[in-house]
Amino acid sequence: MSRNLLLLTIMVFILFLQTGRAQEQKPAYVLVIHGGAGVITKKNMTPEKEKQYTVRLNEALKAGEKVLKKGGSGIDAVTAAIMVMENSPLFNAGKGAVFTAEGTNEMDASIMDGRDLNAGAVASVRHIKNPILGARAVMEHTPHVLIIGEGAEEVAATNGVELVDTSYFFTQKRWDYYQKVKKEKEEAEKHGTVGAVALDMHGNLAAATSTGGMTYKMKGRVGDSPIIGAGTYADNNTCAVSATGHGEYFMRYVVTYDITALMKYKGYTLQQAADEVIMHKLKDVGGDGGIIAVDKDGNVSMTFNTPGMFRGYVTSESKPEVRIYKD
Protein backbone atom coordinates (compact mmCIF):
# COMPACT_ATOMS: atom_id res chain seq x y z
CA MET A 1 0.00 0.00 0.00
CA SER A 2 1.38 3.37 -1.00
CA ARG A 3 2.03 6.08 1.59
CA ASN A 4 -0.68 8.35 0.15
CA LEU A 5 -3.24 5.55 0.11
CA LEU A 6 -2.35 4.63 3.68
CA LEU A 7 -2.81 8.24 4.83
CA LEU A 8 -6.13 8.45 3.01
CA THR A 9 -7.32 5.23 4.64
CA ILE A 10 -6.36 6.51 8.10
CA MET A 11 -8.15 9.82 7.50
CA VAL A 12 -11.32 8.05 6.35
CA PHE A 13 -11.19 5.79 9.42
CA ILE A 14 -10.80 8.77 11.77
CA LEU A 15 -13.70 10.56 10.07
CA PHE A 16 -15.80 7.43 10.44
CA LEU A 17 -15.07 7.29 14.17
CA GLN A 18 -15.84 10.97 14.64
CA THR A 19 -19.10 10.69 12.71
CA GLY A 20 -20.07 7.66 14.75
CA ARG A 21 -19.44 9.47 18.02
CA ALA A 22 -21.41 12.50 16.81
CA GLN A 23 -24.35 10.29 15.93
CA GLU A 24 -24.18 8.54 19.29
CA GLN A 25 -24.12 11.86 21.14
CA LYS A 26 -26.93 13.49 19.16
CA PRO A 27 -30.18 13.26 21.13
CA ALA A 28 -33.18 11.69 19.44
CA TYR A 29 -35.23 14.78 20.26
CA VAL A 30 -34.90 18.15 21.95
CA LEU A 31 -37.45 20.68 23.21
CA VAL A 32 -36.60 24.15 24.52
CA ILE A 33 -39.09 26.72 25.81
CA HIS A 34 -39.14 30.28 27.13
CA GLY A 35 -41.67 32.35 29.03
CA GLY A 36 -40.15 35.76 28.42
CA ALA A 37 -37.06 37.74 29.39
CA GLY A 38 -36.74 40.86 31.52
CA VAL A 39 -35.96 42.17 34.99
CA ILE A 40 -36.47 38.79 36.63
CA THR A 41 -34.48 38.49 39.86
CA LYS A 42 -34.88 36.69 43.17
CA LYS A 43 -35.49 39.95 45.02
CA ASN A 44 -38.61 40.68 42.98
CA MET A 45 -39.90 37.10 42.90
CA THR A 46 -41.70 35.53 45.86
CA PRO A 47 -41.11 31.82 46.59
CA GLU A 48 -44.78 31.16 45.78
CA LYS A 49 -44.57 32.90 42.41
CA GLU A 50 -41.29 31.15 41.57
CA LYS A 51 -42.94 27.82 42.28
CA GLN A 52 -45.89 28.69 40.05
CA TYR A 53 -43.63 29.54 37.13
CA THR A 54 -41.54 26.42 37.67
CA VAL A 55 -44.64 24.22 37.67
CA ARG A 56 -46.06 25.74 34.49
CA LEU A 57 -42.75 25.61 32.62
CA ASN A 58 -42.40 21.96 33.53
CA GLU A 59 -45.97 21.32 32.35
CA ALA A 60 -45.14 22.93 29.01
CA LEU A 61 -42.02 20.79 28.65
CA LYS A 62 -43.98 17.67 29.56
CA ALA A 63 -46.69 18.42 26.99
CA GLY A 64 -44.18 18.95 24.19
CA GLU A 65 -41.98 16.00 25.15
CA LYS A 66 -45.00 13.69 25.17
CA VAL A 67 -45.39 14.40 21.46
CA LEU A 68 -41.70 13.94 20.68
CA LYS A 69 -41.39 10.69 22.67
CA LYS A 70 -44.06 9.12 20.49
CA GLY A 71 -42.22 10.14 17.33
CA GLY A 72 -44.49 13.11 16.70
CA SER A 73 -43.48 16.17 14.72
CA GLY A 74 -41.64 19.18 16.03
CA ILE A 75 -44.57 21.32 14.87
CA ASP A 76 -46.98 19.37 17.08
CA ALA A 77 -44.52 19.52 19.99
CA VAL A 78 -44.00 23.30 19.95
CA THR A 79 -47.75 23.80 19.53
CA ALA A 80 -48.49 21.67 22.59
CA ALA A 81 -45.88 23.47 24.70
CA ILE A 82 -47.03 26.93 23.64
CA MET A 83 -50.69 26.14 24.41
CA VAL A 84 -49.87 25.25 28.01
CA MET A 85 -48.32 28.68 28.48
CA GLU A 86 -51.05 30.48 26.54
CA ASN A 87 -53.60 28.92 28.90
CA SER A 88 -51.76 30.15 31.98
CA PRO A 89 -52.31 33.72 33.30
CA LEU A 90 -48.65 33.79 34.37
CA PHE A 91 -47.42 34.59 30.88
CA ASN A 92 -48.01 37.43 28.44
CA ALA A 93 -49.74 35.24 25.86
CA GLY A 94 -53.31 34.06 25.52
CA LYS A 95 -55.07 34.12 28.90
CA GLY A 96 -52.52 36.46 30.50
CA ALA A 97 -52.07 38.86 27.59
CA VAL A 98 -51.35 42.49 28.50
CA PHE A 99 -53.58 45.44 27.62
CA THR A 100 -53.17 48.07 24.93
CA ALA A 101 -53.43 51.81 25.60
CA GLU A 102 -57.17 51.47 24.95
CA GLY A 103 -57.58 48.70 27.52
CA THR A 104 -57.99 45.84 25.04
CA ASN A 105 -56.03 42.67 24.31
CA GLU A 106 -54.34 42.27 20.92
CA MET A 107 -52.29 39.11 20.50
CA ASP A 108 -49.69 37.89 18.00
CA ALA A 109 -48.21 34.47 17.26
CA SER A 110 -46.15 32.65 14.65
CA ILE A 111 -44.94 29.15 13.82
CA MET A 112 -42.40 27.79 11.33
CA ASP A 113 -41.49 24.37 9.95
CA GLY A 114 -37.78 23.84 9.33
CA ARG A 115 -38.40 21.13 6.73
CA ASP A 116 -39.62 23.47 3.99
CA LEU A 117 -39.61 26.94 5.62
CA ASN A 118 -43.40 26.90 5.65
CA ALA A 119 -44.68 29.44 8.17
CA GLY A 120 -47.83 31.07 9.49
CA ALA A 121 -48.56 34.04 11.73
CA VAL A 122 -51.42 36.09 13.13
CA ALA A 123 -51.33 39.58 14.58
CA SER A 124 -53.72 41.88 16.45
CA VAL A 125 -56.20 39.07 17.15
CA ARG A 126 -58.69 39.52 20.00
CA HIS A 127 -60.86 36.38 20.06
CA ILE A 128 -58.65 33.38 19.28
CA LYS A 129 -58.32 31.43 22.52
CA ASN A 130 -54.94 30.00 21.51
CA PRO A 131 -53.24 32.37 19.04
CA ILE A 132 -50.64 29.73 18.17
CA LEU A 133 -53.46 27.64 16.67
CA GLY A 134 -54.46 30.65 14.60
CA ALA A 135 -50.90 30.95 13.31
CA ARG A 136 -50.86 27.26 12.48
CA ALA A 137 -54.17 27.57 10.63
CA VAL A 138 -52.64 30.29 8.46
CA MET A 139 -49.62 28.08 7.76
CA GLU A 140 -51.57 24.94 6.96
CA HIS A 141 -54.74 26.26 5.31
CA THR A 142 -53.81 29.43 3.41
CA PRO A 143 -51.17 30.41 0.83
CA HIS A 144 -50.12 33.31 3.08
CA VAL A 145 -47.69 33.81 5.97
CA LEU A 146 -49.18 36.65 8.03
CA ILE A 147 -52.84 37.57 8.47
CA ILE A 148 -54.08 40.16 10.96
CA GLY A 149 -57.20 41.07 12.90
CA GLU A 150 -60.61 39.88 11.76
CA GLY A 151 -59.15 38.14 8.72
CA ALA A 152 -57.00 35.96 10.96
CA GLU A 153 -59.96 35.17 13.21
CA GLU A 154 -62.06 34.14 10.21
CA VAL A 155 -59.33 31.75 9.06
CA ALA A 156 -59.11 30.33 12.57
CA ALA A 157 -62.87 29.85 12.97
CA THR A 158 -63.19 28.28 9.50
CA ASN A 159 -60.60 25.69 10.49
CA GLY A 160 -62.06 24.76 13.86
CA VAL A 161 -59.95 26.94 16.15
CA GLU A 162 -61.86 28.07 19.23
CA LEU A 163 -62.86 31.73 19.48
CA VAL A 164 -63.83 33.30 22.81
CA ASP A 165 -65.23 36.54 24.15
CA THR A 166 -62.59 39.14 24.97
CA SER A 167 -63.42 38.79 28.68
CA TYR A 168 -61.62 35.42 28.64
CA PHE A 169 -58.25 37.15 28.36
CA PHE A 170 -58.79 39.46 31.34
CA THR A 171 -56.59 38.91 34.39
CA GLN A 172 -56.50 41.24 37.38
CA LYS A 173 -52.71 41.32 37.44
CA ARG A 174 -52.45 42.60 33.86
CA TRP A 175 -55.30 45.06 34.39
CA ASP A 176 -53.69 46.50 37.52
CA TYR A 177 -50.39 46.89 35.69
CA TYR A 178 -52.16 48.55 32.78
CA GLN A 179 -53.72 51.06 35.16
CA LYS A 180 -50.32 51.78 36.70
CA VAL A 181 -48.70 52.33 33.30
CA LYS A 182 -51.62 54.43 32.12
CA LYS A 183 -51.32 56.67 35.17
CA GLU A 184 -47.57 56.99 35.24
CA LYS A 185 -46.92 56.63 31.48
CA GLU A 186 -44.04 54.31 32.25
CA GLU A 187 -42.49 51.79 29.91
CA ALA A 188 -44.11 48.39 30.16
CA GLU A 189 -42.58 45.25 31.60
CA LYS A 190 -40.54 43.34 29.03
CA HIS A 191 -41.17 39.72 29.92
CA GLY A 192 -44.00 37.26 29.38
CA THR A 193 -43.84 36.34 25.68
CA VAL A 194 -43.72 32.55 25.26
CA GLY A 195 -41.86 30.40 22.77
CA ALA A 196 -40.79 26.86 21.93
CA VAL A 197 -38.33 25.20 19.57
CA ALA A 198 -37.92 21.51 18.86
CA LEU A 199 -35.85 18.89 17.07
CA ASP A 200 -37.93 15.75 16.47
CA MET A 201 -36.93 12.14 15.91
CA HIS A 202 -37.09 12.64 12.15
CA GLY A 203 -34.43 15.36 12.28
CA ASN A 204 -36.89 18.16 11.62
CA LEU A 205 -36.78 21.52 13.37
CA ALA A 206 -39.71 23.73 14.37
CA ALA A 207 -40.17 27.04 16.19
CA ALA A 208 -43.13 28.97 17.56
CA THR A 209 -43.75 32.19 19.51
CA SER A 210 -46.85 33.77 21.08
CA THR A 211 -47.38 37.09 22.88
CA GLY A 212 -49.80 39.70 24.10
CA GLY A 213 -47.31 42.37 23.08
CA MET A 214 -46.29 45.39 25.15
CA THR A 215 -48.36 46.84 27.96
CA TYR A 216 -49.99 50.13 26.95
CA LYS A 217 -48.93 49.68 23.33
CA MET A 218 -50.62 51.75 20.62
CA LYS A 219 -53.69 50.20 19.06
CA GLY A 220 -52.54 48.07 16.13
CA ARG A 221 -48.91 47.90 17.26
CA VAL A 222 -47.27 44.62 16.23
CA GLY A 223 -43.97 43.43 17.64
CA ASP A 224 -41.47 40.83 16.51
CA SER A 225 -43.29 37.69 17.69
CA PRO A 226 -45.42 37.17 14.55
CA ILE A 227 -42.67 38.30 12.18
CA ILE A 228 -40.81 35.43 10.54
CA GLY A 229 -37.08 36.14 10.78
CA ALA A 230 -37.47 38.53 13.72
CA GLY A 231 -39.31 36.60 16.45
CA THR A 232 -39.38 33.10 14.95
CA TYR A 233 -37.31 31.12 12.46
CA ALA A 234 -36.59 27.46 11.67
CA ASP A 235 -34.44 25.85 9.00
CA ASN A 236 -33.43 22.20 9.02
CA ASN A 237 -30.03 23.20 7.63
CA THR A 238 -29.18 25.28 10.70
CA CYS A 239 -31.44 25.76 13.71
CA ALA A 240 -34.82 26.76 15.15
CA VAL A 241 -35.09 30.01 17.14
CA SER A 242 -37.75 31.80 19.21
CA ALA A 243 -37.17 35.28 20.62
CA THR A 244 -38.45 37.44 23.45
CA GLY A 245 -37.66 41.06 24.26
CA HIS A 246 -38.02 44.60 22.94
CA GLY A 247 -39.72 43.79 19.65
CA GLU A 248 -38.74 46.89 17.72
CA TYR A 249 -35.05 46.01 18.06
CA PHE A 250 -35.65 42.36 17.18
CA MET A 251 -37.42 43.43 13.99
CA ARG A 252 -34.79 45.97 12.97
CA TYR A 253 -32.02 43.42 13.44
CA VAL A 254 -34.02 40.40 12.14
CA VAL A 255 -32.63 38.52 15.10
CA THR A 256 -33.80 34.96 14.55
CA TYR A 257 -32.81 34.92 10.90
CA ASP A 258 -29.50 36.61 11.65
CA ILE A 259 -28.57 33.75 13.96
CA THR A 260 -29.33 31.14 11.30
CA ALA A 261 -27.51 33.21 8.65
CA LEU A 262 -24.34 33.41 10.76
CA MET A 263 -24.40 29.63 11.04
CA LYS A 264 -25.15 29.07 7.37
CA TYR A 265 -22.84 31.59 5.76
CA LYS A 266 -20.06 32.07 8.30
CA GLY A 267 -19.90 28.64 9.86
CA TYR A 268 -20.65 29.85 13.39
CA THR A 269 -21.78 27.34 15.99
CA LEU A 270 -25.23 27.93 17.45
CA GLN A 271 -23.82 29.45 20.63
CA GLN A 272 -21.36 31.65 18.77
CA ALA A 273 -24.17 33.00 16.61
CA ALA A 274 -26.48 33.58 19.58
CA ASP A 275 -23.75 35.39 21.52
CA GLU A 276 -22.88 37.59 18.55
CA VAL A 277 -26.47 38.70 18.00
CA ILE A 278 -27.87 38.87 21.55
CA MET A 279 -24.80 39.80 23.60
CA HIS A 280 -23.17 42.13 21.07
CA LYS A 281 -25.33 43.41 18.21
CA LEU A 282 -28.47 43.91 20.29
CA LYS A 283 -26.83 44.85 23.57
CA ASP A 284 -24.66 47.49 21.89
CA VAL A 285 -27.75 49.36 20.68
CA GLY A 286 -29.82 48.91 23.84
CA GLY A 287 -31.95 46.00 22.69
CA ASP A 288 -33.08 43.91 25.68
CA GLY A 289 -34.14 40.30 25.45
CA GLY A 290 -33.08 36.80 24.59
CA ILE A 291 -33.60 33.68 22.51
CA ILE A 292 -33.99 29.94 22.82
CA ALA A 293 -32.67 27.75 20.02
CA VAL A 294 -31.79 24.20 19.03
CA ASP A 295 -29.63 23.30 16.04
CA LYS A 296 -29.81 20.33 13.67
CA ASP A 297 -27.38 18.39 15.87
CA GLY A 298 -29.39 18.89 19.06
CA ASN A 299 -27.24 21.61 20.59
CA VAL A 300 -29.21 24.05 22.77
CA SER A 301 -28.84 27.78 23.41
CA MET A 302 -30.77 29.88 25.93
CA THR A 303 -29.05 33.25 25.60
CA PHE A 304 -30.29 36.56 27.04
CA ASN A 305 -28.88 39.96 28.00
CA THR A 306 -31.42 40.72 30.74
CA PRO A 307 -31.32 39.81 34.47
CA GLY A 308 -33.46 36.75 33.85
CA MET A 309 -35.48 34.67 31.38
CA PHE A 310 -38.09 32.02 32.12
CA ARG A 311 -36.75 29.00 30.26
CA GLY A 312 -36.36 25.24 30.21
CA TYR A 313 -35.38 22.28 28.07
CA VAL A 314 -35.61 18.52 27.85
CA THR A 315 -33.94 15.97 25.58
CA SER A 316 -34.17 12.25 24.97
CA GLU A 317 -30.99 11.94 27.02
CA SER A 318 -31.85 14.24 29.94
CA LYS A 319 -34.60 15.11 32.36
CA PRO A 320 -36.53 18.39 32.13
CA GLU A 321 -34.63 21.37 33.51
CA VAL A 322 -36.20 24.75 34.28
CA ARG A 323 -34.35 27.99 34.99
CA ILE A 324 -35.42 31.54 35.77
CA TYR A 325 -32.48 33.70 36.78
CA LYS A 326 -29.11 34.38 35.21
CA ASP A 327 -26.77 31.54 36.18
Q: Which residues are catalytic?
A: 193
Which residue blocks in 186-295 are alpha helix, DSSP H? 247-252, 255-266, 270-274, 283-284
Kindly give, in sequence order, each residue whose CB lies less than 8 Å from that of residue 310, ignoring residues fewer than 6 positions away: 34, 35, 36, 37, 40, 53, 57, 91, 191, 324
Alpha carbons 111 and 144: distance in angstroms, whole number: 13
Question: Which DSSP category does 92 fall into?
Answer: S
Alpha carbons 316 and 29: distance in angstroms, whole number: 5
Angle at 221 between CA 57 and CA 243, to 5 degrees: 35
Q: Are 131 and 122 in contact (CB under 8 A)?
A: yes
Alpha carbons 41 and 44: distance in angstroms, whole number: 6
Which residue blocks in the chain are alpha helix, DSSP H? 3-25, 47-69, 74-86, 131-141, 149-158, 172-184, 247-252, 255-266, 270-274, 283-284
